[in-house]
């Protein structure tokens, strides 16, 4: 599938162990125009058969039925490894992204992600992007955080554009392995970057509500938005809806059944917890739900917990079933729901 500018408008971000095929399908059915896989490690794609087969299964089960583009994200500091891994996956995706934003300790220790943003590593980063762009049959992009000093971010992005990047995504925060979203993203930097690039600029950060989407685009002038953490609680944010936590959980579980073997038990548990937590963390039964969810052993037990127990707890506590904006009620889009 050819990636058009319209596909860049509302993007589901790459999230470790959370960007599985069922979740990507879920957010795409609720307004995401494109989605990323989780960050994949080239060395493991090349040398770990189980790892490679798990992630290619995730990319191939939909086959030609894929309605929205999917971008594979790779990390690494070895040009040859990144290129060889990308070549193995390029026929299963619509674009390949280089991760220059991961702030975790593992990225620091292995020297990839945001720990390649220092100027001493720019020649290496440029070489990787250039080699990707000339080696792959799909477009190449890069997702980065702020450089130090911040003004250097624009220079690096321009260098990557010159080396063949088709778009740049900027998460306008500095690197912090302890607090990945420390402070607000500096959208002024995104605005300045958009003015200096000729390729599309994607803004990542500061989206908690549907209204934030428009505010972000108006302020930055970006070509699109990438949303991560907020989607985990509300996968319908792109359509201005607050989903019923039971209904959205069951919708996700049905997708897990449709695409077996693409989401681990821990991934499914994490998604269900976030769906319920988004609106029910304040309830007297939420801690019991978390404990029960942790003790589930398979997808069937998770479904039973959601379908039977959660509904029962909600009935006993007298909760009003949340409605979407499209249902005609004044659904809450700010405050504790999205800040939890």
Using DSSP, state whether 35 is helix, strand or coil: strand
Q: Which of 83, 101, 192, 179 is nearest to 146 (CA)?
A: 101
pLDDT of residue 323: 40
Per the model's pLDDT, the better-predicted residue between 53 and 333 turns out to be 53
pLDDT of residue 316: 76
Kindly indicate the confidence band of residue 63, based on its pLDDT and cuts at 50, 70 and 90: confident
Q: Taking 70 as the threshold, does the pLDDT of residue 122 lie above it?
A: yes
Q: What is the pLDDT of residues 278-296, one digit of tens each?
A: 999 999 999 999 999 999 9
φ, ψ for residue 40, nearest 5 deg: -110, 150
pLDDT of residue 338: 25
pLDDT of residue 330: 29
Share above pLDDT 90 across residues of the chain, in percent, rounded to a whole number: 86
pLDDT of residue 175: 85
For tokens 């959980």, the residue is 249
d(CA 51, CA 45): 6
Q: Taking 80 as the threshold, does the pLDDT of residue 15 lie above it?
A: yes
pLDDT of residue 320: 52
pLDDT of residue 230: 96
pLDDT of residue 315: 79
**Interval 210-221 mean pLDDT:** 97
**Interval 11-22 mean pLDDT:** 97
Q: Taking 70 as the threshold, does the pLDDT of residue 297 lie above it?
A: yes
Q: What is the pLDDT of residues 230-281, one digit of tens each?
A: 999 999 999 999 999 999 999 999 999 999 999 999 999 999 999 999 999 9
Check: CB of residue 124 under 8 Å from CB of residue 163: no
Q: Taking 50 as the threshold, does the pLDDT of residue 339 lie above it?
A: no
Kindly indicate the confidence band of residue 38, based on its pLDDT and cuts at 50, 70 and 90: very high
Q: Taking 80 as the threshold, does the pLDDT of residue 176 lie above it?
A: no
pLDDT of residue 65: 79
Check: CB of residue 88 under 8 Å from CB of residue 104: no
**Interval 117-142 mean pLDDT:** 98
Q: Which of 109, 138, 327, 103 is nearest to 236 (CA)?
A: 327
Q: What is the DSSP letter of 61?
A: S
E strands present in 134-291:
140-145, 167-171, 201-204, 224-227
Q: Taking 60 as the threshold, does the pLDDT of residue 328 lie above it?
A: no
pLDDT averaged over every residue in the chain: 91
d(CA 250, CA 304): 10
Q: Taking 80 as the threshold, does the pLDDT of residue 183 lie above it?
A: no
| Alpha helices by DSSP H, 30-104 | 42-47, 49-60, 79-89
Q: Taking 60 as the threshold, does the pLDDT of residue 180 lie above it?
A: no
CA atoms within 13 A on the CB side of 335: 5
**Interval 303-311 mean pLDDT:** 95
d(CA 193, CA 289): 44
**Stretch among 29-43, 148-162, 170-184, 283-297 having the lowest mean pLDDT:** 170-184
Check: CB of residue 243 under 8 Å from CB of residue 324: yes
149 upstream amide cis, omega within 30 of 0: yes
User: Which stretch of DSSP H or E encloses residue 12?
Assistant: strand 10-12
Share above pLDDT 70 across residues of the chain, in percent, rounded to a whole number: 90
Q: Which of 202, 122, 111 is nearest to 162 (CA)?
A: 122
pLDDT of residue 333: 27
Check: CB of residue 244 under 8 Å from CB of residue 237: no
φ, ψ for residue 321, nearest 5 deg: -60, 125
SS (H, E, C) 188-199: HHHHHHHHHCCC
């Amino acid at each position: 599938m050819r990636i058009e500018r319209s596909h860049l408008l509302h993007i589901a971000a790459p999230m470790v162990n959370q960007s599985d095929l069922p979740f990507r399908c879920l957010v795409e059915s609720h307004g995401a125009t494109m989605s990323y896989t989780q960050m994949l490690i080239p060395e493991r794609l090349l040398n770990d058969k189980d790892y490679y087969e798990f992630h290619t299964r995730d990319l191939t089960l939909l086959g030609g039925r894929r309605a929205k583009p999917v971008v594979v994200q790779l990390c690494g500091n070895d040009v040859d490894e990144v290129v060889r891994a990308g070549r193995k996956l390029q026929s299963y995706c619509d674009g390949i992204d280089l991760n220059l934003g991961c702030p975790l300790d593992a990225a620091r220790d292995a020297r990839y992600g945001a720990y390649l943003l220092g100027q001493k590593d720019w020649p290496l980063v440029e070489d990787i992007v250039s080699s990707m762009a000339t080696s792959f049959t799909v477009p190449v992009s890069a997702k980065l955080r702020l450089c130090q000093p911040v003004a250097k971010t624009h220079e690096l992005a321009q260098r990557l554009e010159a080396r063949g990047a088709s778009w740049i995504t900027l998460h306008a925060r500095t690197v912090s392995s302890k607090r990945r979203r420390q402070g607000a993203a500096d959208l002024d930097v995104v605005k300045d970057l958009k003015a200096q690039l000729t390729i599309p600029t994607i803004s990542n950060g500061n989206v908690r509500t549907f209204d934030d989407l428009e505010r972000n685009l108006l302020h930055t002038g970006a070509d699109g938005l990438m949303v991560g953490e907020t989607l985990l609680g509300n996968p319908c944010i792109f359509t201005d809806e607050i989903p019923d936590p039971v209904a959205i959980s069951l919708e996700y579980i049905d997708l897990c059944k449709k695409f077996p073997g693409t989401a681990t038990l821990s991934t499914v548990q994490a998604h269900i917890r976030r769906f319920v937590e988004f609106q029910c963390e304040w309830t007297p039964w939420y801690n019991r739900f978390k404990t029960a969810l942790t003790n589930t052993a398979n997808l069937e037990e998770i479904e039973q917990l959601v379908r039977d127990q959660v509904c029962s707890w909600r009935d006993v506590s007298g909760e009003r079933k949340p409605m979407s904006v499209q249902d005609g009620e004044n659904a809450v889009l700010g405050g504790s729901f999205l800040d939890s």
